[in-house]
Amino acid sequence: MKTIFFTGKGGVGKSTLAAAAAWQLAEKGYRVLTVSLDPAHNLGDIFGIKLHHRKKKFTSELYLQETDLEKAADEYIKNNMSIMKEVYGYLKTFNMDKYFSILKYSPGIEEYAALTSLEKILTKEEGCFDYIVFDTPPTGLTLHIFALPGVTLAWIERLIKIRKEILEKRYTIHNIKGKYIPEGVQLAYQEKDDKVIQKLYELQKRYEKVKSVLEGDDNSVSVVFNPDQLSLKESERLLEGLKELGLPVSHFFNNKLTEDNLKTAESVEAKLKKDNKSSTIKRIYYNDDNLSKGYMLNDDIAGLFIEQEGK
Amino acid sequence: MTTLIVVVGIVVYITLYLTYGKKLEKEFVKADDNIKTPAVRFDDGVDYIPSKAPVLFGHHFASIAGAAPIIGPVLAMAWGWVPALLWVWFGNIFIGAVHDYLSLMASVRYDGKSIQFVASDLITKRTGRLFYWLVFFLLILVIAAFGAVVNGMFVGTPEIPTAYIMKIAAALILGVLIYRVKMNFTLATIIGIILLGLSIWGGSMLPIVASKGTWYIIIFFYIIIASAIPVNVLLQPRDYLNSWLLYLGLIVGAIAAVFSFQGFTAPAFTSFAPIVSGGKATPFWPAIVLIIACGSLSGFHSLVASGTTSKQLEKESDGLKIGYGSMLTEGFLSTLVVVSVAGFGLELMVGKGMDITTSNWGTNYTSSMMGSYPKAAMFTGSYAAMVASTWLKFIPTKIVQIIAGMWVASFAMTTLDTTNRLGRYTFAEILSPLKDKNEGVYNFFTNRWIASLVPAVIGIYLAWSGNFTILWPSFGTANQLIASIALLTGVSWITKRQKTKGTFALIPAYLLWITVTAAIIWFSAVVLPGTIMSNPVTGITVLVIEVIMLIMNIIFIIDFLKHKDDPLDA
Amino acid sequence: MSNKIVSKIKNFISGVEYVHRDQAVSHTLWEERELENIFTLLLMGSFSGIPAPPAFISAELIPLLTHELKIFNNRAENSFDTLAEMTGVLGID
Give the mean model confidence (pLDDT) for residues B472-488: 94
Q: What is the pLDDT of residue B138?
A: 94
The answer to whether residue B187 sits within a structural domain is no
Whether chain C has a CB inside 8 Å of the CB on A140: the answer is: no
Q: Which pLDDT value is given to residue A80?
A: 65
- Answer for the pair B199, B173: CB distance below 8 angstroms, yes or no: no
Cα(B553)–Cα(B555) distance, integer angstroms: 5
Cβ-Cβ pairs closer than 8 A, A with B, add up to 11
How far off is chain B from C79, nearest CA to CA, in Å?
A: 10
Is residue A272 very low, low, confident or very high in pLDDT (cuts 50, 70, 90)? confident
Cβ-defined contact of B59 to C26 (cutoff 8 Å) = yes
Write the pLDDT tens digit of every residue in B232-271. Answer: 899 899 989 988 888 888 888 888 888 888 888 889 899 9
Full 3-state SS string of B25-50: HHHHHCCCCCCCCHHHHCCCCCCCCC
Inform me whether the C-beta atom of residue A175 falls under 8 Å from chain B C-beta atoms: yes
Number of domains within chain A: 1
What pLDDT score does A149 carry? 87
pLDDT score of B77 more than 80: yes
Contacts of B185 in chain A (CB under 8 A): 175-176
Q: Which residues of C are less than 8 Å from B234 in CB distance?
A: none
Contact assignment for C61 to A200 by CB distance below 8 Å: yes
Q: Is residue B184 part of a domain?
A: no
Handedness of CA A54, A57, A62, A66 (dihedral sign): negative
The closest CB to that of B45, out of A175, A176, A185, belongs to A185
Residue range(s) defining the domain that contains residue A87: 2-310
Q: In terms of C-beta density within 10 A (0-12 exposed, 13-18 middle, 19 or more buried), how is residue A211 classed?
A: middle
* Nearest-CA distance C64 → chain A (Å): 6
Phi, psi of B214 (to 5 degrees): -60, -45
**Contact at CB, A152 and C60, closer than 8 angstroms:** no
Q: Nearest to residue B138, comparing CAs of B490, B546, B439?
A: B546
What is the overall mean pLDDT for chain B? 89
CB pair distance less than 8 Å for C91 and B239: yes
Predicted pLDDT at A164: 94
Residues from chain C that touch B54, judged by Cβ atoms under 8 A, are: 15, 19
From B306's Cα to the closest Cα of chain C, the distance in A is 7
Give the 3-state secondary structure of B161-215.
HHHHHHHHHHHHHHHHHHHHCCCCHHHHHHHHHHHHHHHHHHHHHCCCCCCHHHH
Domain count, chain B: 1
DSSP B295: T
Using the beta-carbon criterion (under 8 Å), do B185 and A172 form an inter-chain contact? no
| Helix then strand then coil, % of chain B, to nearest 5 | 80, 0, 20
Please answer whether residues C83 and B307 qualify as being in contact, where contact means their C-beta atoms are separated by less than 8 angstroms.
yes
Tell me which H or E stretch contains A87: helix A69-87
B47, B294, B306 member nearest C93 (Cβ) = B294
Q: How far apart are CA B464 and CA B468, in angstroms?
A: 9
Residue A274 predicted with pLDDT over 80: no
For residue A106, give the DSSP letter. S
- Which residues, 6+ apart, have CB-to-CB distance to B409 below 8 Å? B67, B150, B153, B154, B160, B164, B376
Q: Cα dist. B65→A172, B58, B70, B276, B282 in Å?
A: 26, 10, 10, 24, 27
Q: Collapsing DSSP states into helix, strand and coil, what is residue A33?
A: strand
The answer to whether B236 contacts C28, with C-beta atoms less than 8 Å apart, is yes
Interface of C with B in 47-86 (CB under 8 A): 67, 70-71, 74-75, 78, 80-86
* C-alpha angle A182-A183-A185 in degrees, rounded to nearest 5: 75
Cα–Cα distance, A222 to A96 (Å, whole number): 48
Range(s) of the domain holding residue B414:
2-52+112-158+209-563
Tell me the nearest-neighbour CA distance from B197 into chain C, angstroms: 18
Strand order in the sheet with A32-36: A56-57, A62-66, A32-36, A131-135, A2-8, A219-225, A249-257, A280-285
Q: How confident is the model at residue B169 (pLDDT cuts 50, 70, 90)?
A: very high
Count CB-CB contacts under 10 A for residue C42.
18
Which of C:15-44 have CB within 8 Å of B?
A: 15-16, 18-29, 31-33, 36
Which chains have 3 or more CB–CB distances shorter than 8 Å to chain A? B, C
SS3 assignment, position B402: helix
Q: Is the pLDDT at B486 greater than 50, yes or no?
A: yes
**B280 part of a folded domain:** yes
Compute how many other C-beta atoms are within 10 angstroms of the C-beta atom of residue B124.
18
The answer to whether residue B50 neighbours chain C at the CB level (below 8 Å) is no
Interface test with C, best of A85, A158, A180 (most C CBs within 10 A): A180
Alpha carbon distance B307, B145 (integer Å): 24
Q: Which residues of B touch C32 (CB under 8 A)?
A: 46
Cβ distance A172 to B45 less than 8 Å, yes or no, reads no
Range with lowest mean pLDDT among A228-237, A299-308, B138-147, B269-278: A299-308
**What's A214's domain CATH number?**
3.40.50.300
Mutation to test the A interface, candidates B49, B59, B179, most A Cβ within 10 Å: B179
Question: What confidence tier does A184 reach under pLDDT thresholds 50, 70, 90?
Answer: low
- On chain A, the residues whose CB falls within 8 A of the CB of C67 are 187
| Cβ atoms of B275 and B366 closer than 8 Å | yes
* pLDDT interval class at A87 (50, 70, 90): low
Contact in structure between B279 and B314 (CB atoms under 8 Å) = no
Confidence grade of residue A92 (pLDDT, cut at 50, 70, 90): low
Residue B520 pLDDT greater than 90, yes or no: yes
Number of cross-chain residue pairs from A and C with Cβ atoms under 8 Å apart: 78
Query: Using CB atoms, which residue from A106, A109, A162 is nearest to C35?
Result: A162
Regarding beta strands A32-36 and A2-8, do their DSSP bridges make them parallel or antiparallel, or are they unpaired?
unpaired
**Residue among B500, B507, B509 at smallest CA distance from B480:** B509
B388 in a structural domain: yes
Q: Is the pLDDT of residue B374 over 70?
A: no
Report yes or no: B304 at the C interface, CB cutoff 8 Å: yes
* Residue B137 resides in a domain: yes
Report yes or no on B533 lying in a domain. yes
- pTM of the full structure: 0.83
Residues on chain A touching B175 (C-beta within 8 angstroms)? none
Contacts with A200 from chain C: Cβ below 8 Å? 61
% of chain A residues with pLDDT over 90: 11
3-class DSSP assignment, residue B511: helix
**Burial classification of residue A85, based on how many CB atoms lie within 10 Å of its CB (0-12 exposed, 13-18 middle, 19 or more buried):** middle
pLDDT at B343 over 80: yes
- Helix (H, G, I), strand (E, B), or coil: what is residue B467? coil
Contact at 8 Å (CB) between B41 and B314? no
Q: Cα dist. B15→B20, B21, B29, B275 in Å?
A: 8, 9, 19, 34
The 3-state DSSP class for residue B453 equals helix
A108 vs A77: CA distance, rounded Å: 12
Put simply, whether B407 touches C (Cβ < 8 Å) is no
pLDDT score for B284: 92
Instruction: Give how far C45 is from chain A: nearest CA, Å.
Output: 12
Percent residues over pLDDT 70 in chain C: 92
How far does the CA of residue A86 sit from the closest CA of chain B (Å)?
22
pLDDT at A174 over 80: yes
Question: CB of A231 within 8 A of CB of A9?
Answer: yes
Distance from C-alpha of B300 to C-alpha of B312, rounded to nearest angstrom? 18
Q: Measure the CA–CA gap between B554 and B471, rounded to whole angstroms.
A: 23
Q: pLDDT by residue (tens digit) across B11-38? A: 999 999 999 999 989 888 889 999 999 9
pLDDT computed for residue A97 by the predictor: 60
How many Cβ atoms from other residues are within 10 Å of residue C33's Cβ? 20
Q: What is the ipTM of this complex?
A: 0.85
- Cβ neighbours of residue B125 closer than 8 Å, sequence gap 6 or more: none
CB proximity list for A42: less than 8 A, separation 6 or greater: A15, A36
Question: How far A146 CA sits from the closest chain B CA (Å)?
Answer: 38
Q: Does A212 touch chain C (CB under 8 A)?
A: no
Q: Which of B23, B144, B14, B29 is nearest to B494 (CA)?
A: B29
Q: Rounded to whole angstroms, how far apart are CA atoms B551 and B553?
A: 5
A82-96, B203-217, B323-337: lowest mean pLDDT where?
A82-96
Structural contact between residues B276 and B282, judged by C-beta atoms closer than 8 angstroms: yes
